[in-house]
Structure 1
Amino acid sequence: MKKHQTSPRLLSRLALHSALLGLSLLGAQSGAIAQTAPAVRHDIPATSLEAALQRYARSTGINLSYDAALLAGRQSQALQGSYTPAAGLAALLAGSGLQAQAQPGGGFVLRPAVAQAAPPPATLAARPAATPARPASTPEPEPQAALPLVRVSGTADRQAQRELGYRARTQASAGFGEQALLDTPFQVSVVTAELMRDQQSRSLADVARLDASAVVGAPDTGWYDRISLRGFSIREAYRDGLRISDQAQVPLDNKAAVEFVKGLSALRYGFSTPGGVINYMVKRPTEAPLSRAGLSLNGFGGLALHTDLSRRFGVDQSLGLRLNASLEHERHEVAEQRGPRRFVSAALDWLPRPDLRVELEGEFQQRELGGNYGLGPDAFAPGVDSQALLARLDRKAYRGQSWSTYPSRTSAGSARLSFALNDNWRLQAAAQVQRIRRAQYGMWVSSESLQANGDLQLEHYISEQQLRGGEAMTMRLDGTFHTAALSHQLTLGLERTREIQFEPAVFWATLGRSNLFNPVRYPKPSFAPEQADDWDNRNITDSVFLNDTISWGSDWQLNVGLRQLRPRFENFKRDGSLKAAPFKRSAFTPSLSLAYKPAAHLSIYANYVQGLEGGGTAPTDQDIVNKGEVMPALRSHQQEIGFKAELGAGSLFSAALFNIDKGLERRSEAKRWVQDGRQVHRGVEASLSGTVRPGLRLVSSLAWLDAKTVKGEDPSIVGKRPTDVPKLQANVLADWQLPGLPGWSLNAGAFHKGSRAITADNRLSLPAYTRFDAGLRYAGPLAGVESTVRLNVQNLGDKRYFETGYAFGLPRTLLLSVDLEW
């Protein structure tokens, strides 16, 4: 196999080409950024002025500050129709004797209106006439005592807006709180609920293919999705910033967005893999009523029903409720992989007073599908031509057993509280509980047992009462203050996470002989309790974190952060004693970033981050001596530079050059899972998303990665590329509104994955492939009801390819859905 060397000159060229692409796009687009906020539709009945203002703030997202005594006894008029935030606020205040004064940092303060002889029309844009000079005999009025101001922050609209569009304007995963993507000194991609609906995404794998930095791991329809970011496998996931176990499918039914933070995120998340993190943003109640019901099916006979409802209650609409429910009969390309799925979720928010918000939410999913064992390069006997053998294999064939299923029940819920201490300081607390109860009846091919005629030996693994999950709790104080010419945004917080992995009875053994083309059916094995092993792993991590975002002028921003981690990783025996000494080592993970904005629509940044990655667990579905053993933590480092540019008001171009190094875990020649050597990944990322011209939206990205293993005791892998890490991956998805056909849109996508090694010594590799998708969508009235009909075809050319290892990718797949809204 030809060995490719990467020179610094080539790396510099790629970075330069990404920069030139961004600058050329800047020149091709109008540089004007919209200075006026878009109009929002309102339907606020006549009520008390304070209640109307609180609802208006939630609807528009503006911040209002006022003295509560000013509003006492005052009534508002009804507000109906579409208004910009300023015009709508002026209409609400008309005739009240109050006016809104815009603040330099954003938001408005309510003050008594200044009397004028001929007042102009009620609008915030109008300036009051100059006050005539007061005669000398007129005494100065007594100054009014400064009263505490009530501050109302609009947030419900951001929950609704987070779900819309192909280009998100904000993210809530890279730092503490929501931040504009343009101003975020990290690479973050956001896949919104609208984009997921239009692509009919059903799983994390469907979502991840929209980002070239994400590589989908071995697909196992009945199990759970595994992906990597920047070439590193991701083992952690989060719901609204709180850690969860991802060892069951995470439902997308109630997710407003999925956010991928690329690169080290130790300051925000503590122990995390260096490639990045996945954060699922939960749908919250919207300001306007929402009623959506849908039907979806696929070409294999799968059928699903879904509903999404949101309402607000109370005189001041301070109580919000959102419900999602799904009922599905799953069927996939392998006919035997079918089964039921049930899902339900609820989210509640309550504003008992203007400065306090309480949120509660929970979800439950039950699912069961059959498994289909995969093939790895170590399964083939010496001398067997693996490519020739696999060419004869039907990718839709079922090789499993009727009892080889993965039943799971997953539940998660959280509570949040946000309290504004004053205009500048806010206290926030959150807690989450998650449980995954599942059974695993797995199989794999014994090492070097697969012969040229398809004969093989099967191993099996049974664990019927698995428990995964844990708890996460955090409390933090956010505030702003000034020192001389510097502005500070300070975050100080505490966090505790507890992860559990419990399996009271684990049994694995040889199942028997079979054949790849003519599977032998076996009855479900039984075993005596004394034959079983057990695992009880408990990881507790306490953290203290501090982050200061320092700004000077309107151009520069420095972010300095530090997290202290105090972990305790324990692995228990069945009798309650420890299998090994617990891992306990306090560590600090610093983070530093600098951002410069030479223009309002352009940001340049650099960051340096140190991270600590929780050690992995020795795989249980491979021929490993120390199955289930928990490894010690691994330290990692990242350096990154990048820039982002808004192209007009509709799209965002982003590019970055990064270097990451981390410790390596692998299977040794002695068939043990060990930590040995280091991986170094250097790469370039670029993306363009949003409306690039009227009627045309793009979601596109490119990732080029030079990854290799350095150091280590095994000379056969030193200097080699890590497995399943393509050098190049790229995708583009275009959505075009058809001219002259109102409501009709056409979309098409191309997804390229470069060649990648499947053995640590790079002896074997998989070829590159490009997959093409297409779709048609109608959005408009059907029989008087607002409807959206979507038809998508994945793998339009029915290309035969391997996703990873020797696991086949999707064949041609037809998806159809109908959504009704009222």
Structure 2
Amino acid sequence: MTARTNFQLSRRTKLKQLSIAALLSISLHVHAATANIDIAAQSLDQAILSLGKQSGENIAFPSDLASTLKAPAVKGNYSVQQALELLLKGTGLTTQKTPAGYSVVKQVENKTETLPEVQIKDKAIKDITAEYAGGQVARGGKVGLLGNKDLMDTPFSATQYTSKLIEDQQAQNLGDVLVNDPSIRNTYSRGSGRDEFNIRGFTLFNYDAMFNGLYGISPRDSSSMIGIERVEVLRGPNALLNGIAPGGSVGGAINLVPKRAGYQPLKRMTLSYIDDSQLAAHADVARRFGADQQLGVRVNAIKSSGDTPMDGSKERLDAIAIGVDFQGEGFRLEGDLNYQNRLTYARSGLLFVAPGVQIGSAPDARKNYFPSWTYWDSNQISGAARAEFDLTQNWMVYGALGSSEYDFSSLQTSWQLLSQQGDMRTRPTRTKQYVKTLSGEVGVRGKFATGALNHEPVLSVTSYFMESGFLSNRTGAFSFSNLYASPDLAKPGISLVGNVPKSAETRLRSIALADTFSILDKQVQLTLGVRHQEVISNNFDSASGNRVVEEHYDESKLTPVVALVIRPIEQLSFYANYIEGLNQGQIAPNDPINRGKVFPPEVSKQKEAGLKYDFGRFATTISVFEIERPSGITDPSTGIFSVNGKQRNRGIEFLTQGEVVEHVRLLGGLALTDGELVKTEGNTNNGNTAPAVPKQQFNLAAEWDTPMLPGLTITARMLHTGEQYLDAGNTQKISSWNRYDLGARYAFITGKVPVTVRGSIENLFDKNYWLSAAREGLSVGAPRTVLLSVTADF
């Protein structure tokens, strides 16, 4: 939460802060006592906005509260008072006539609670992160070290997907949300039991996703969405903003923002079905306590199990997410406890391809080539707490601490394709693994002015510790099968003996300092910062438990950031940045003559520039970027290993969000990326296209609130991904693919219970296609999948 400020505010800033204080109004002239009202069932804030436009009346309401409530359809000749009463029925809100028009207020014990007088203070995070028009994305979000920022003040390309989008698109896992992003492609399809992503042409592992700003707390394999309010995406390297990612991901950052209790009690139940026969029940309960409702508790729980559309595949999920927050005078506390157990059969793994083998057509996605006895079983419990204390109106200290314990077991097959005709082989492997993490952050944030120059400094210290253990055993002989006619192989008799030994430890420590300078009422903002990152890792011998001396790593690196925002007018924002990404440096392998040499953390560098334009209810972002990432190569003439290889991704992105016209929403965009291998081993592949980097990615999702039946919304989505090379030599590639989705939802009220029925079909034409070539392995897209759900708020 940002600190308050006493800075002199211009008239433009005062208007901006009025909107941040959450009193939205629509000002038109009243021409009649009644009007012909036609409002579809939707969120309450959007319904009130529509009523104001249609009636010409001025209506003030608390947007942070109204955006969490639902309103029924209202159609007919009504006065504003009558229409408001219908919209507010059962919400705990009522309306008052004011000299300026109407005001929506909370009703408490037959009395009304008047809205507080608007104060010009920079403090309302909920307003900065409020839903943008249409409700699918947020107005802004957390930008790592820099805190919460509005879309137009963020000097990076970022999108925040909301819980409304998660619910309306029936997203089960993180990958089901990020399928909406044109800059991102999933490595695995729905129902695979794991999430992994490709952002701006670079892999991002699910365990590098943050939970409320902390690494190591989110589920490692696949993240259930039941307790998530926002999915925040930051594109590009971000070491200064978030520190080094534990898995070394540099293409972007993902932050999961947990749900919190609103001021309206919530009792929501959702029943869902995914074909073949996967059923789920999800409960979402929230309430606030205390005289001023300072204490909030929100509990989400889901139980899901059943067969997926792929033959022999099934999945079971049990998860619970508990979120607590306390809003005190001058301090804020919040905590989360999450548990997730996911068991997936016959859906995990990549198909690797032998050198020189041409890749044939994708197999029938329903005829699963993974044996029915293969499984992934992941079990994780985590907890996190965060606190903020206001030292003064302009200075705040904050801290966060989180911990996680993860246990994993599997019996799996990693296939290798041997011929274009689909011959392939595997050696089944049984594994057990554990991972324990402890992550924390403390910092101080403030505001002050030196003459006409305003400052927003922040100092942060972070620490991350991970201990992991691994035990595996595999069969001695290969098993053979065929991609296009896969028999269900006999289950191998593989056993594991003994406890899982400790295999590795990693410590990541950093200190970061940044300041955002602004002049001319924030029309010009310059951010400068630097982070000192230390990486310490050790590998251990599984038999003796001793540390392997030559596999000890202790290196550090400084990473800077320079970011600029220029806003010549309120609606237009130009931005540019130079920022770096980090991943743990390599240790020279055994073959080179300098074997065992430890290299410092590898630095990926991004240069980016773009513009953002906010039309009011529709916004666009256009950006161009260049990312250079080093890689390890061995010089064939000298035999020396070095980190002098280089991959360079250059791209243009066009992103859209919001309501293009009333009752029509668009979300999507176009990403054009040129991934080039600039320097390779022996210069053999210089100039080639980088593996798993499609040149084109296009998304377009549309929603239309139909006028013929209020409450009915039709949805459609198209995805296009260009061809991808599998290997650095560009001799193996997969074709481009298109996917089409279609759906609808209908919101209505039965008695006093708001109900929403949703249905969608993904991969409408049941196309078989290779989904991804990431990490030199192939994965198959999911077949046509039907999703149905019904949600009721009791």
Partners of 1:472 and 1:298 lie apart in 2 by 36
Contact 1:167/1:651 (<8 A) preserved = no
Contact 2:388/2:398 (<8 A) preserved = yes
Partners of 2:561 and 2:764 lie apart in 1 by 44
Partners of 2:221 and 2:598 lie apart in 1 by 19
Q: How does 1:677-756 map to 2 (within 5 A)?
A: 677-756=645-724
Which structure shows the bigger proportion of residues in strand conformation?
A: 2
1:506 aligns with: 472
Equivalent of 1:590 in 556, 560, 570: 560
Equivalent of 2:170 in 200, 205, 224: 200
Contact 1:159/1:256 (<8 A) preserved = no
2:8 aligns with: none
Percent identical residues: 28
Q: How does 1:284-303 map to 2 (within 5 A)?
A: 284-303=260-279
Query: Is 2:23 aligned against 1:37?
Result: yes
| SS class of match (2:177) | helix
Q: Which amino acid aligns with 1:565?
A: Q
Contact 2:555/2:601 (<8 A) preserved = no
Equivalent of 1:323 in 299, 308, 328: 299
Q: How does 1:189-588 map to 2 (within 5 A)?
A: 189-219=159-189, 221-235=191-205, 236-244=208-216, 247-272=220-245, 273-351=249-327, 353-372=328-347, 376=351, 378-379=353-354, 386-387=359-360, 390=361, 393-446=363-416, 450-451=418-419, 455-464=423-432, 466-503=433-470, 505-516=471-482, 517-519=485-487, 521-527=489-495, 529=497, 536-554=503-521, 555-574=523-542, 575-579=544-548, 580-588=550-558
Contact 1:217/1:225 (<8 A) preserved = yes
Contact 1:307/1:326 (<8 A) preserved = yes
Q: Which amino acid aligns with 1:468?
A: V
| SS class of match (1:207) | helix
Partners of 1:529 and 1:630 lie apart in 2 by 34
Contact 1:490/1:546 (<8 A) preserved = yes
Partners of 1:219 and 1:91 lie apart in 2 by 45
Per-residue deviation, residues 38-60 of structure 1 (Å, max 9, x unmatched): 2699xxxxxxxxxxxxxx99869
Q: Which amino acid aligns with 2:159?
A: S
Distance of aligned partners of 1:84 and 1:686 in 2 relative to their CA distance in 1, 3 Å threshold: farther
Partners of 1:417 and 1:440 lie apart in 2 by 38
Per-residue deviation, residues 446-475 of structure 1 (Å, max 9, x unmatched): 5x6x356655432122212x1124111001
2:121 aligns with: 106
Distance of aligned partners of 1:187 and 1:578 in 2 relative to their CA distance in 1, 3 Å threshold: same
Q: Which amino acid aligns with 1:361?
A: D
Partners of 2:646 and 2:371 lie apart in 1 by 39
1:785 aligns with: 753
2:50 aligns with: none
Contact 1:748/1:774 (<8 A) preserved = yes
Partners of 2:431 and 2:297 lie apart in 1 by 39
Partners of 2:182 and 2:564 lie apart in 1 by 25
| SS class of match (2:427) | strand
- Aligned-pair CA distance for 1:632: 6.3
Q: Which amino acid aligns with 1:38?
A: L
Per-residue deviation, residues 278-307 of structure 1 (Å, max 9, x unmatched): 111111121221221111102211111101
Partners of 1:265 and 1:250 lie apart in 2 by 22
1:602 aligns with: 572
Q: Which amino acid aligns with 1:600?
A: E
Contact 2:130/2:139 (<8 A) preserved = no
Q: Which amino acid aligns with 1:435?
A: E
Q: Which amino acid aligns with 1:106?
A: K
Distance of aligned partners of 1:80 and 1:711 in 2 relative to their CA distance in 1, 3 Å threshold: closer
Per-residue deviation, residues 335-375 of structure 1 (Å, max 9, x unmatched): 32113211111111123x41121111111011111134656
- Aligned-pair CA distance for 1:676: 6.1
Q: Which runs of 5+ in 2 are unaligned?
A: 1-17, 26-43, 46-61, 68-91, 590-596
Q: Which amino acid aligns with 2:479?
A: R
Q: So what's the TM-score if we normalise by structure 2?
A: 0.80
Contact 2:348/2:375 (<8 A) preserved = no
Contact 1:59/1:156 (<8 A) preserved = no
- Aligned-pair CA distance for 1:315: 2.0
Partners of 1:279 and 1:546 lie apart in 2 by 21
Contact 1:644/1:652 (<8 A) preserved = yes
| SS class of match (1:409) | strand
Partners of 1:418 and 1:499 lie apart in 2 by 26
| SS class of match (1:340) | strand
Q: Which runs of 5+ in 1 are unaligned?
A: 1-32, 42-55, 62-78, 108-152, 620-628
- Aligned-pair CA distance for 1:513: 3.0
Partners of 2:126 and 2:436 lie apart in 1 by 29
- Aligned-pair CA distance for 1:758: 1.4
- Aligned-pair CA distance for 1:182: 1.3
Distance of aligned partners of 1:91 and 1:703 in 2 relative to their CA distance in 1, 3 Å threshold: closer
Q: Which amino acid aligns with 2:368?
A: Y
Partners of 1:431 and 1:237 lie apart in 2 by 16
Q: Which amino acid aligns with 1:252?
A: M
2:732 aligns with: 764
Per-residue deviation, residues 696-729 of structure 1 (Å, max 9, x unmatched): 1110111001111111214342211111110010
Q: Which amino acid aligns with 1:366?
A: N
Q: Which moved more, 1:260-269 or 1:327-336?
A: 327-336
Per-residue deviation, residues 223-275 of structure 1 (Å, max 9, x unmatched): 31111110011131100110026531111111111111001111121114331
Partners of 2:752 and 2:118 lie apart in 1 by 42
2:7 aligns with: none
| SS class of match (2:528) | strand
Bigger radius of gyration among the two: 1
Partners of 1:318 and 1:101 lie apart in 2 by 20
Contact 2:627/2:650 (<8 A) preserved = yes
Partners of 1:375 and 1:279 lie apart in 2 by 26
User: Between Structure 1 and Structure 2, how many residues are aligned?
Assistant: 688
Partners of 2:224 and 2:409 lie apart in 1 by 18
Q: Which amino acid aligns with 2:339?
A: F
| SS class of match (1:268) | helix
Partners of 1:569 and 1:84 lie apart in 2 by 65
1:817 aligns with: 789
Partners of 2:182 and 2:273 lie apart in 1 by 27
Distance of aligned partners of 1:545 and 1:697 in 2 relative to their CA distance in 1, 3 Å threshold: same
Contact 2:557/2:601 (<8 A) preserved = no
- Aligned-pair CA distance for 1:733: 0.4
Contact 2:308/2:315 (<8 A) preserved = no
- Report the aligned-residue RMSD: 3.6
Per-residue deviation, residues 553-587 of structure 1 (Å, max 9, x unmatched): 12111111111112211111132322224221221
Q: How does 1:85-104 map to 2 (within 5 A)?
A: none
Partners of 2:358 and 2:227 lie apart in 1 by 46
Partners of 2:766 and 2:104 lie apart in 1 by 55
Distance of aligned partners of 1:297 and 1:710 in 2 relative to their CA distance in 1, 3 Å threshold: same
Per-residue deviation, residues 729-783 of structure 1 (Å, max 9, x unmatched): 0110010110131101111111110111112211121111111111111011135
Partners of 1:490 and 1:653 lie apart in 2 by 29
Partners of 1:239 and 1:778 lie apart in 2 by 32
Contact 2:215/2:464 (<8 A) preserved = yes
Contact 2:95/2:105 (<8 A) preserved = no
Distance of aligned partners of 1:518 and 1:549 in 2 relative to their CA distance in 1, 3 Å threshold: closer
